[in-house]
Amino acid sequence: MALDNIIERCQDLYDDLRFSYVKEWKAAQPGRHAIGYMPVYVPRELIHAAGMLPVGILGGGDQLDVIHGDAYYQSYICRIPRSTIELALTGRLDDLDGMLFPSTCDVIRNLSGMWQLKFGDKLIRYFDVPQDFDPAVGGKYYVYELQSLRDELAQLAGRPITDDDLRQSIALYNENRAVISELYAYRSREPWQVLTHELYLLLRAGMILPVDEHTQLLRDYMVAARNTKRPVRDNCRVVMNGLFCEQPPLGLLKSIELAGCYVVDDDFLLVARWLLDDVPLAGDPLQNLCDAFLTRSLETSCKFVPQQKDKGAYLLASVRDNHAEGVIFAAPSFCDPALLDRPMLQRVLTENNIPYTAFKYSENSGQMQPIREQAGTFADSIKLWSAA
């Protein structure tokens, strides 16, 4: 498939706020279920193993007119919950048979309660993950929570979710993560070949397409990208941080690129990259998912860092491993996790002489000129004044 066609397909999925794909997927086989989930992390393997379609619900972006949603939130609360409520109130989420709300922050947490009050006839679950990473303590708790989710999904599916079902799903998601890692590595090596707004659209497609279909799409893209020679620009290499929940408008990512930055790592859609290694297929699948979460998962602002020396280590590693020249902190307005974390991460960067810049956005930010100017100035300053 040609590169343009792949991106066009992803763009169509991205633009479709009526989730037509979900409707079609369900219609293709009666009795199918689709389960929505919000950022940052839920174990999609369990949903898939129940024969259901996991659907990432990521707000309304910059194309949704939020009319009802604003009546549910004060002005000082971020945008993603109000546009998510808008999606639901306007019937756009009617094809979902359930919603999972991860323990991302208090706003997403409380949104689970709002869902209970407004849409209580569906499966609604707040999915609490442990902040104690001791396998004997947090692990024990988490395995029970995974089992509890498994039971609820099985009840909705009308059939048990066997260990073999789970292993099969784990294998598919392992493969998907491996291909995403390959894509990230490719972008890091040749960022002019993998444009970040394209990578983002590809990841977004993975929030709705079945996992195996998405894996193939990623492979097709990489083949097509390798066959398309794109111009190499004198851009600086940056890591973007803080965009893990409320989504950046596509225009923002394009603006960053147009301003002279190659994004070589980011924290977009972390659910797709949360587990850092393959989850083993042998043994108890829930225990394996649990162990992967506890010991080999990403660090982000939503997770407690038990040791001070480890704070920000992931960002530092990302900068070093990807040969980045700076970091762009882009956090949604009123995002507690990202904004509270930022000074600590900036301290780590300062101590390591890594330049950074910071701004805020909303999913519906429309005016990109200031962001473009700021990112451009940042890129210029790196090019002009860095030691290299």
Partner 1 sequence: MTTDITAQGGVQKEKSMLLQKAMISANYDALARAHDEGKKVSSTFVPGNLNELLMCFDMVRNLPEINALQSAMRKQTGAYIMEAERAGHSEDVCTYVKSDLGMMAKGSIGPSGQPLPVPDLLLLSYTGCFTFMKWFELVRDQYNCETAMLHVPYQADGKITDNMRQYVVMQLREHIIPSLERVSGIKFDIDRLREHLAESARAEDDLVWVLESAKHKPSPIDAYFGGVYYCGPIFTAFRGAPETTEYYREVRREVEQRIELGLGPVTPEGVLDEERVRVVVEGPPNWTHFRDFWKMFYDEGAVVVASSYTKVGGLYDYGFRHDPDNPLETLADYCLGCYTNHSLPARVNMLCDYMDKYSADGFLVNSIKSCNSFSAGQLLLLREVEQRTGKPAGFIETDLVDPRYFSSANVKNRLESYFQMIAQKKTRHGVAA
The DSSP H or E segment spanning 264 is strand 261-265
Q: By C-beta, is 186 or 359 nearer to partner 1?
A: 359
Specify the stretch interacting with partner 1 by CB under 8 A; choose among 112-120, 243-251, 259-267, 317-325. 112-120
Q: By C-beta, is 74 or 369 nearer to partner 1?
A: 74
Q: Does residue 27 touch partner 1 according to CB under 8 A?
A: no
Q: Does residue 34 touch partner 1 according to CB under 8 A?
A: no
Among 79, 125, 167, 273, binds partner 1 (CB under 8 A): 125
The distance of Cα 46 from the centroid of its chain, to the nearest Å, equals: 18
Specify the stretch interacting with partner 1 by CB under 8 A; choose among 167-175, 217-225, 341-349, 364-372. 341-349
Residues 347 and 357: their CA atoms lie apart, in Å, by 13
Query: C-alpha dihedral over 269, 271, 274, 279, to 10 degrees?
Result: -140
Is there a contact between 116 and 58 (Cβ–Cβ < 8 Å)? no
Q: Structure tokens of 186?
A: 């490719």
* Contact pattern for partner 1 over residues 267 through 306, marking x by CB under 8 A: ----------------------------------x--xxx
Q: Does residue 117 touch partner 1 according to CB under 8 A?
A: yes
Biggest distance spanned by C-alpha atoms of the chain: 63
Q: Does residue 116 touch partner 1 according to CB under 8 A?
A: yes
Q: Does residue 320 touch partner 1 according to CB under 8 A?
A: no
Specify the stretch interacting with partner 1 by CB under 8 A; choose among 20-28, 180-188, 198-206, 330-338. 330-338
Min dist CB 242 to partner 1, Å, is 11
Q: Restricting to residues 348-387, which ones interact with partner 1 according to CB under 8 A?
A: 360
Helical segments of 70-162, H only: 80-89, 106-118, 140-157
**Residue 333: strand, helix, or coil:** coil
Q: Does residue 344 touch partner 1 according to CB under 8 A?
A: yes
Specify the stretch interacting with partner 1 by CB under 8 A; choose among 30-38, 135-143, 229-237, 256-264. 135-143
DSSP 92-110: TTTT-SEEEEESS-HHHHH
Residues 171 and 259: their CA atoms lie apart, in Å, by 40
Q: Restricting to residues 75-104, which ones interact with partner 1 according to CB under 8 A?
A: 76-77, 81, 103
Residues 59 and 56: their CA atoms lie apart, in Å, by 9
Q: Does residue 343 touch partner 1 according to CB under 8 A?
A: yes
Min dist CB 316 to partner 1, Å, is 15
Min dist CB 106 to partner 1, Å, is 4
What phi and psi values does residue 41 have, to the nearest 5 degrees? -140, 130
> Secondary structure of the chain: what % helix, strand, coil (to 5)?
50, 10, 35
Q: Does residue 336 touch partner 1 according to CB under 8 A?
A: yes
Q: Does residue 137 touch partner 1 according to CB under 8 A?
A: yes
The DSSP H or E segment spanning 23 is helix 20-28
Min dist CB 135 to partner 1, Å, is 11
Specify the stretch interacting with partner 1 by CB under 8 A; choose among 27-35, 70-78, 245-253, 366-374. 70-78
Min dist CB 245 to partner 1, Å, is 12
Residues 23 and 35: their CA atoms lie apart, in Å, by 12
Q: Does residue 152 touch partner 1 according to CB under 8 A?
A: no
Min dist CB 308 to partner 1, Å, is 5
Return the residue matching tokens 């991860």.
102
Phi/psi-derived region of residue 283, left when phi > 0, alpha when psi is between -120 and 50, beta in every other case: left
Return the residue matching tokens 């492979």.
219
Residues 118 and 115: their CA atoms lie apart, in Å, by 5
* Residue 199 one-letter amino acid: L
Residues of the shown chain interacting with partner 1 in the complex, contacts defined by CB under 8 A: 71-74, 76-77, 81, 103, 105-107, 109-114, 116-118, 125-126, 128, 130-132, 134, 136-138, 140-141, 144-145, 148, 301, 304-306, 308, 311, 331, 333-337, 339-344, 346-347, 360
